[in-house]
Amino acid sequence: MKDYFGYSGKVCVVTGAASGMGKATAEMLVDLGAQVYGLDWAEVKVEGIAKYIHTDLSQKDSIDQAFGEIPAHIDSFFGIAGVSGSKTDFVTTTKIDLISNKYICEEILPSRMSEGGSIAFITSTGGNGWEKEGNKNVYLPIVQANGWDGAVEALNKTLLPHLPGTLGYPFSKLAMNYYTIQLQATYAPKGIRVNAVLPGSTDTGLKDEFTAMAGGEEALLSHTGYAKRLAESREMAEPIVFLNSPMASYISGELLRVDYACTAEEVAGLAQPVQPIDLTAVLEHIQKMGQK
């Protein structure tokens, strides 16, 4: 039988491997014969992984330490961990959902990956509208800052840290969707691909927090289109495992929406569009509030 996915013996790093989509991804990779390194602040209980490494992705030193425990050569990176922002402030949410991925991909992976390597993130359809100028103007200074400290400094120079953690979620996902495309340009000359999966609402460890943020179960389900149910973690693991495999060797810079056509129907005008967040308007609003 041909091993189409080609993960056998490959070193794969999965963040967020303790729960939800990250756990489902780690399980699938183990089944496909990969050496899986699971980074999470909660214990990763996946039979057959090479190593669980306790990591706090909101701390640069913890990330450095974790990568010190992983073989020098990494084949595939799966940036999946994330928080909703309902239990963390804006800056911490952004460190976990955006800055940790940026730091790993800019400061660690360039010397650890070679041609044929692959990087994929789980971002979100909550980051739809990433291409709008009003959003770009707000997130670009952070995305384009240098290093961990530079990104945190750029964030702290704005009014964003005054916002609740729950707004750190769409902010980070808008930025991650842009960043995926920016990063593929950096990695393309090295023959390394970069992609992202943008899930719709999924039944994971974050379900209760997203249900509360949406205003109840019915509201959450109203964004599931014809599926009329939340996705399962496995249904996000499968596309991200595909994107990082040689099966997707001509796919890079792809933002793969896995939301049962919800976004596509909105774009086509077949469904009522959900207005994407406008970060510029949000910032203008808090500026006005501060002047009162």
Ligand X SMILES: NC(=O)c1ccc[n+]([C@@H]2O[C@H](COP(=O)([O-])OP(=O)(O)OC[C@H]3O[C@@H](n4cnc5c(N)ncnc54)[C@H](O)[C@@H]3O)[C@@H](O)[C@H]2O)c1
* Positions that interact with ligand X (CB under 6 A): 16, 18-22, 40-42, 55-58, 80-83, 96, 122, 124, 126, 199, 201-202, 204-206, 210, 233
Q: Judged by CB, which is closer to ligand X: 201, or 252?
A: 201
Cα–Cα dist 172/79, whole Å: 13
Residue placing its CB nearer to ligand X in the complex, 6 or 259: 259
In the complex, the smallest distance separating the C-beta of residue 179 from ligand X, rounded to whole angstroms, is: 13
Distance CA 29, CA 19 (A): 15
**8 A C-beta contact, residue 117 and residue 110:** no
Rounded to a whole number of angstroms, the minimum distance from the CB of residue 68 to ligand X is 16
Please identify, using beta-carbon distances, which residue of 58 and 118 lies nearer to ligand X: 58
Cβ atoms < 10 Å from Cβ of 178: 20
Residue 127 CB, nearest approach to ligand X (Å): 9
Comparison of 6 and 230: residue with beta carbon closer to ligand X: 230
- With respect to ligand X, which residue has the nearer C-beta, 135 or 201? 201
Q: Which CB atom, from 18 or from 160, has the smaller least distance to ligand X?
A: 18
3-state SS class at 142: helix
Helices marked H in the chain — which ranges? 20-31, 60-67, 90-94, 100-103, 133-143, 147-156, 165-187, 207-214, 217-221, 234-243, 262-268, 279-291
Tokens found for residue 216: 């109840």
Residues 281, 139: Cα–Cα separation, whole Å: 13
Residue 6 or 204 having the CB closest to ligand X: 204
Shortest distance in whole angstroms from residue 64 CB to ligand X: 14
Q: Least CB distance from residue 252 to ligand X, whole Å?
A: 20
Q: CB-wise, 154 or 176, nearer to ligand X?
A: 176
Nearest approach in angstroms of CB 180 to ligand X is 13
Phi/psi of residue 229, each to 5°?
A: -160, 160
Q: Checking phi first, is residue 206 left (phi over 0); if not, alpha (psi -120 to 50) or beta?
A: alpha
For the chain, the straight-line distance linking the first and the last C-alpha, in angstroms and rounded, comes to 69
CB of 272 to ligand X, least distance (A): 20
Q: What angle do CA 100, 104, 109 make, to 5 degrees?
A: 170
188 vs 257: CA distance, rounded Å? 22
- State how far the alpha carbon of 94 is from the alpha carbons of 6, 139, 143, 152, in Å: 33, 11, 11, 9
Q: Tell the smallest beta-carbon distance from residue 246 to ligand X (Å).
A: 24
